């Protein structure tokens, strides 16, 4: 297998997993989590989808395109939600998720990451 062609997308997904998990944990420790429920759920969903996309790219699954499309959509939604909050963990999540969107879209458009 030659998962090297997906290397940048795999790295972007793995970085997004860490950022999203950290964001969710920070949001859960906030005093008022009711205002953050959408953010918490999206970051957790995003981490799970990114983890799956990374694994499927590593083994060059036949489902890479479909999962990368879903990953891009999920990361975009996560970035948009996190952008509403001016705290460092949410802003970091925005940046990382946007990079993951770019890499996953590149995979679905060209068959390899940028």
| The predicted structure's pLDDT at residue 1 | 46
| The predicted structure's pLDDT at residue 109 | 86
| The predicted structure's pLDDT at residue 31 | 81
What is the sign, positive or negative, of the torsion defined by CA atoms of 48, 53, 54, 59?
Answer: positive
The phi and psi torsions of 16 (rounded to 5 degrees) equal -65, -40
Number of domains in the chain: 1
Parent domain of 103: 3-110
Whichever domain contains 41, its CATH number is: 1.20.1270.360
Determine the Cα–Cα distance for residues 9 and 7; give it in Å rounded to an integer.
Answer: 6
Q: What is the pTM of this model?
A: 0.91
Q: Are 100 and 12 in contact (CB under 8 A)?
A: yes
| The predicted structure's pLDDT at residue 3 | 66
| The predicted structure's pLDDT at residue 110 | 76
How would you write the pLDDT of the chain (114 residues) with one tens digit per residue? 456 889 999 999 999 999 999 999 999 998 876 689 999 999 999 999 999 999 999 999 999 999 999 999 999 999 999 999 999 999 999 999 999 999 999 999 876 555
């Amino acid at each position: 297998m030659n998962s090297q062609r997906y290397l940048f997308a795999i790295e972007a997904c793995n970085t997004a997993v860490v950022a999203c998990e950290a964001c969710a944990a920070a949001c859960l420790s906030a005093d008022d989590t009711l205002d953050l429920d959408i953010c918490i759920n999206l970051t957790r969903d995003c981490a799970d989808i990114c983890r799956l996309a990374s694994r499927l790219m590593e083994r060059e699954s036949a489902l890479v395109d479909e999962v990368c499309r879903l990953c891009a959509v999920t990361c975009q939604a996560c970035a948009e939600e996190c952008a509403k909050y001016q705290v460092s963990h949410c802003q970091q999540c925005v940046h990382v998720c946007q990079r993951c969107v770019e890499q996953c879209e590149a995979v679905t458009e060209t068959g390899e990451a940028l």
